[in-house]
């Protein structure tokens, strides 16, 4: 919430979407900037983000790998595997 408060003080319009918001993808598709801090691994996929939007993923999740001799690995809350990304 500290990010939302900070940008509101700079006169930005802020919409907070919870992980259980029924139309979260639809709301995120309208955003110019998405700050992902939802607490769920790879919840946000490419169809949630409009072209040209900025995505800032501040969450990290441990995910169990269900294979012999494997351990948990870390992943982001934004699934980058299915969309084109420009990194800075």
Report if residue 10 sits inside a domain. yes
Residue 55 in domain: yes
Has residue 40 been placed in a domain?
yes
What is the band of 71 on the pLDDT scale with cuts at 50, 70, 90?
Answer: low
46 CB contacts (<8 Å, ≥6 apart)?
A: 79, 82, 83
- CATH number of the domain residue 50 falls in: 3.40.50.720
pLDDT of 67 over the 80 cut: no
Residue 65 belongs to what domain range? Answer: 2-76
* Band (22; pLDDT cuts 50, 70, 90): very high
For the chain, the first-to-last Cα distance in angstroms comes to 24
The CA angle 10-14-20, to the nearest 5 degrees, is 155
pTM: 0.72
């Amino acid at each position: 919430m500290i990010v939302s408060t900070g940008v509101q003080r700079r006169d930005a319009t802020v919409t907070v979407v919870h992980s259980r918001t029924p139309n979260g993808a639809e709301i995120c598709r309208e955003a110019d900037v998405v700050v992902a801090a939802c607490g769920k691994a790879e919840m946000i996929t490419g169809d949630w983000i409009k072209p040209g939007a900025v995505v800032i993923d501040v969450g990290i999740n441990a995910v169990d790998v269900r294979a012999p001799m494997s351990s948990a690995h870390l992943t982001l809350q934004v699934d980058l595997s299915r969309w084109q990304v420009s990194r800075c």
